[in-house]
Amino acid sequence: MHHTTSRYLIVILVAVATVTLLFSNVALAQQNYPNKPITMIVPFNAGGAVDVTIRIICEEAEKTLGQKILVINKAGGGATEGQGFVARSKPDGYALLAGSSSLVTNTLTKEVDYTVGSFDAIVLYNFDPEVMFVYAGEPYKSIEELIDHTKKEPLTSATSGHSTSHHLASLILENISGAKFKYIHTKGGTEAVPMVAGGHAKVLLGVWGESRNMVDQGKLRPLAVMSKMRDPRFAEVPTFKEKGWDIEYGAWRGIVAPKGTPPDIREKLFQAFKKALESSQVKEKFAKADYTIMIKGPNDFESFLKNDYEGVKKILDQLKAESSKQ
């Protein structure tokens, strides 16, 4: 009996020691984080707004983290391939996602194996109002003219992917104004913008940074912006609100990690990205590329995500109806 008790005691002690060692190893790994390169997945093609902005931030954040951040483009499925990959990754801080509005819309409109709750928020760093651009070869000089025409004859509209913020903005516009569009969904702004600039599609709801060069070249004409007030980057362009349609909407961009990423790792990442966003180098590069900066930490970003999710849910029926036409 004494020997049996001793054996049980030894087994228990070994188990306790193993668990203690395991936890201490985990704690040590978190304390030493990062001790190897971090992977940042961009779920769109290279050259688009998400890709451009995240590369600027990562290049600077590497200095604080002391490790390389490998930015990898994993486009496909309107961003679902890259988003799903990160959602299924180990929550250890070494796989991050360059998130955007499509993270919300995809979970509501497509059959995916993840939800908004599959991610932990790190930092929200940019919000860009949607701008209506028209191919310069078209005669429309005002948003009223364009919308009136689409009510009689729908125009082709290029998007950066089904259920992305640009697509959603078009659907909101249809819903409020009665405008009608025929959609051509691409793999990102780097495909959608040239498509309209070349006249292969007629209109585009997108962001200024991705489209400015084509505006400067006289190939695209901005007609209205979905912001509360005129944007100082292109102050001559009126808001939709001025023209009688009360629409405020835009594309957001942020960084998220797989659900379950330890809080101290999330905080370390947030501080590194915050420092990068506050640096003169990042501010200058963002300004040069025509992107604005905002900084919301994990808690505020989490709340923002929930609000965006609820907002998109309100027009879910219209999104699903449009999706069934594809």
In order, the DSSP letters of 138-196 are S---SHHHHHHHHHHSPEEEEESSTTSHHHHHHHHHHHHH---EEEEE-SSHHHHHHHH
Buried b (16+ CB within 10 A) or exposed e, 242-260: ebebebebbbbbbbbbbee
Q: How far are the Cα atoms of 1, 263, 284 from residue 213, in angstroms, in the given order?
A: 84, 41, 18
Domains, the chain, ranges and CATH?
34-127+250-321 (3.40.190.150), 131-248 (3.40.190.10)
User: What are 99-121's pLDDT values in tens digits?
Assistant: 998 999 899 888 999 999 999 99
User: What are 182-204's pLDDT values in tens digits?
Assistant: 999 998 888 999 999 999 999 99
pLDDT for 105: 87
Record the pTM.
0.76
pLDDT for 188: 85
Place of tokens 């009510």: 151
Q: In this structure, what token pair is assigned to residue 204? A: 């585009």
Q: What whole-number distance in Å separates Cα of residue 126 and Cα of residue 254?
A: 7
Residue 81, φ and ψ in degrees, nearest 5: -65, -50
Going from the first residue of the chain to its last (326 residues), give the mean pLDDT of each consecutive group of 10, the final group possibly shorter.
62 61 51 94 93 97 98 93 98 98 89 96 95 97 97 96 87 92 92 96 94 96 94 95 91 96 98 98 94 94 90 72 60
Relative to beta strand 220-225, strand 38-42 is unpaired
pLDDT for 22: 47
